[in-house]
């Protein structure tokens, strides 16, 4: 299966097509970049607008399965973003990609920052939507209280 | 001094292993996420039972994970067992970590991540058949 034969080093793999994964895939595609999005539930791809002009390729498969991760598309991807709905699953996939496929270009989403130490230990880039939201709300509150003074 | 073991998992698996370990003179602590299952487990006075998610550092701290000689990650999800085991190794410095995996293809990966023993039920059954 040659999904991105012409520009094989210029695509992103997203594992997990929930709200976060589908929004991210659409954003990247709108900027003219190719995306391979993987989810074990085919229905999850209904969140995407897969027009003939879209740069998104959906692939049904379990992101925790070694056979899915070992495929050449993951190996050749520019970035791999892991945003399934489960923090522990994200940690496991990120570690599998890093330790077995020896790829450093991994970003994993984690909602509960409690397990942050595991990301640091294994050198995995982590982004917490919870921390980002809290930080943004906090900044806005500080800004509005400054304006009120 | 009595040896200590921490078991993380669902009632059926934890109960069976807890009985065996108590017979071998181990002090046993169990972390079970389902409250009703905790109540059943707590009927055994020899076991200290903690209700919560054993993949969270705060719950492992509450269970005094660092005081154990061995932990058994027996949850039904491989990712949960990986995270529970790694936290015990890296954060709580437990010497021996044993995990259950359901996907035999992940056994090698678990060993690579520092687990001391990895048990796969389907592989064990296959070994017996062969």
- Mutation target to probe the B interface, by most B beta carbons within 10 A, among A16, A90, A92 is A92
CB nearest B113 (choices: A86, A87, A99): A99
Check residue B81 and give its pLDDT: 97
Residues of B with Cβ-Cβ distance to A121 under 8 angstroms: 86, 90
Residues in chain B: 130
CA of B121, closest CA in chain A: separation in Å?
18
Residue from A147, A102, A142 nearest A122 by CA: A102
* Angle at the Cα of A98 from the Cα atoms of A96 and A101, rounded to 5 degrees: 80
User: pLDDT at position A7, please?
Assistant: 52
State the pLDDT at residue A4.
61
Name, in order, each residue with C-beta under 8 angstroms of B94's C-beta and a sequence gap of 6 or more: B6, B65, B66, B68, B69, B70, B71, B88
CB A63 within 8 A of CB A16: yes
Nearest C-alpha of chain B: how many angstroms from A96? 7
Its pTM stands at 0.89
Beta-carbon separation of A92 and B82 below 8 A: yes
Of all residues in chain B, the percent with pLDDT exceeding 90 is 88
- Got the DSSP string for A84-105? -S-HHHHHHHHHHHHHTS----
Inter-chain touch B113–A66, beta carbons under 8 Å: no
CB contact B118 to A (< 8 Å):
no
Burial label, A140 (beta-carbon count in 10 A; 0-12, 13-18, 19+): exposed
Which chain B residues are Cβ-neighbours of A65 within 8 angstroms? 103, 105
C-alpha torsion sign, points B94, B96, B101, B105: positive
A99–B112 C-beta distance less than 8 A: yes
Q: Burial level of A53, CB count in 10 A (0-12/13-18/19+)?
A: exposed
Q: Are A94 and A79 in contact (CB under 8 A)?
A: no
* pLDDT value, residue A24: 94
Indicate whether this complex's ipTM tops 0.85: yes
∠ CA B112-B115-B116, rounded to 5°: 115
pLDDT (tens place) for every residue of chain A, 149 residues total: 456 655 556 899 999 999 999 999 999 999 989 999 999 999 999 998 777 678 899 999 999 998 888 877 788 899 999 999 999 999 999 999 998 888 889 999 988 877 777 787 778 888 888 888 898 999 999 988 877 77
Sign of CA pseudo-dihedral A16, A17, A20, A26: positive
Residue in chain A closest to B82 (alpha carbons) equals: A92
CA A104-A92-A81 angle, to 5 degrees, is 50
The pLDDT value given to residue A1: 44
Asked whether the predicted pLDDT for residue B17 surpasses 60, the reply is yes
**Structure-block tokens of residue A11:** 């695509």
Crossing angle of the two packed helices B78-90 and A87-99, in degrees rounded to 10: 80
Interchain pair A86, B57: CB under 8 A: no
pLDDT at B47: 97
Encode pLDDT of B23-79 as tens digits. 999 999 999 999 999 999 999 999 999 999 999 999 999 999 999 999 999 999 999
Place of tokens 């496929």: A101
Any CB–CB contact under 8 A between B77 and chain A?
A: yes
pLDDT of residue B28: 97
> To the nearest whole angstrom, how far is the Cα of B42 from the nearest Cα of chain A?
28
Task: Give yes or no for B93 touching A (CB within 8 A).
Answer: no
């Amino acid at each position: 299966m040659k999904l991105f034969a012409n520009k094989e080093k210029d695509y992103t793999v997203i594992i997990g097509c929930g709200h976060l994964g589908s929004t991210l895939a659409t954003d990247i595609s709108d900027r003219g970049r190719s995306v391979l999005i993987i989810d074990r539930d085919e229905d999850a791809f209904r969140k995407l607008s897969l027009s003939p002009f879209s740069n998104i390729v959906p692939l049904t498969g379990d992101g925790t399965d070694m056979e899915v991760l070992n495929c050449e598309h993951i190996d050749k991807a520019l970035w791999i973003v892991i945003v399934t709905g489960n923090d522990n699953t994200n940690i496991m996939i990120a570690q599998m990609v890093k330790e077995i496929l020896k790829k450093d270009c991994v970003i994993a989403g984690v909602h509960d920052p409690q397990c942050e130490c595991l990301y640091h230990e294994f050198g995995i880039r982590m982004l917490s939507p919870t921390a980002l939201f809290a930080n943004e709300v906090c900044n806005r509150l500080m800004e509005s209280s400054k304006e009120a003074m | 001094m009595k040896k200590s073991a921490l078991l993380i998992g669902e009632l059926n698996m934890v109960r069976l292993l807890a009985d065996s370990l108590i017979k071998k003179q181990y002090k046993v602590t169990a972390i079970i996420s389902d409250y009703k299952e905790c109540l059943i487990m707590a009927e055994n006075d020899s076991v200290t039972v903690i209700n919560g998610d054993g993949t969270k550092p705060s719950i492992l701290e509450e269970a005094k994970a660092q005081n154990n000689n061995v932990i058994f990650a027996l949850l039904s999800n491989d990712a949960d067992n990986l995270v529970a085991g790694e936290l015990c190794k890296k954060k709580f410095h437990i010497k021996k970590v044993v995990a259950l995996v359901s996907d035999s293809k992940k056994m090698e990966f678990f060993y690579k991540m520092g687990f001391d023993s990895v048990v796969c039920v389907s592989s064990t059954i296959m070994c017996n058949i062969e």
